[in-house]
């Protein structure tokens, strides 16, 4: 398959194409009363740690590559949040403990997956905070919306 679309933009990678032999960009994200975002094209290591104390960590895996087919994200929160955003071609397992906090998975899991699809397991503890995984569409999969000034106008009356 071609690495580019007909308009010259890079073709998004899917499934087994996401597993690469490139060194990971970083191995952890830790916040104290602040925020950390990992988004865009980056390589996720086989084991990644995320911790938030009175802050927020967002890990967006929609455009990432993986150093291994199976990845474990150890996510911990203390009065904070850790959000893991994944596309529909990655399998996610959320298996953590919440103590007066929450650990969950939102969104619809993939209907069909390739046997070699990357698997991300999110584990850890949330104390008075929250850790969650959420399936979201990639930017190129979102429906095109008209600008507010180009939408149809409603008329009132006859």
Residue 155 lies in a domain: no
Residue-wise pLDDT for 46-92, tens only, equals: 999 999 999 999 999 999 999 999 999 999 999 999 999 999 889 99
Residue 147 lies in a domain: no
Residue 152 lies in a domain: no
Domain that residue 19 falls in: 15-137
pLDDT confidence band for 148 (50 / 70 / 90): low
Residue 3 lies in a domain: no
Residue 27 lies in a domain: yes
**Domain count of the chain?**
1
Q: Which long-range contacts (CB under 8 A, 24 or more apart) does 91-94 make?
A: 91/117, 91/118, 91/119, 91/120, 92/119, 92/120, 92/121, 92/122, 92/133, 92/135, 93/119, 93/120, 93/121, 93/122, 94/122, 94/131, 94/132, 94/133
Residue 67 lies in a domain: yes
pLDDT confidence band for 110 (50 / 70 / 90): confident
């Amino acid at each position: 398959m071609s690495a580019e679309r007909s308009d010259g933009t890079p073709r998004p990678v899917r499934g087994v194409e996401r597993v690469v032999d490139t060194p990971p960009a970083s191995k952890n994200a830790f916040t104290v009363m602040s925020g950390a975002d990992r988004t865009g094209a980056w390589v996720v290591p086989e084991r990644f740690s995320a911790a938030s104390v009175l802050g927020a960590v967002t890990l967006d895996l929609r455009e990432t590559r993986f150093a291994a087919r199976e990845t474990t994200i150890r996510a911990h929160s203390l009065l904070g949040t850790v959000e893991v955003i994944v596309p529909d071609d990655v399998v996610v397992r959320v298996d953590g403990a919440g103590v007066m906090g929450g650990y969950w998975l939102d969104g619809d899991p993939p209907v069909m997956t390739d046997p070699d699809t990357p698997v991300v397991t999110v584990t850890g503890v949330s104390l008075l905070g929250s850790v969650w995984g959420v399936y979201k569409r990639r930017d190129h999969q979102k429906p095109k919306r008209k600008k507010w000034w180009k939408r149809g106008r409603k008329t009132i009356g006859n």
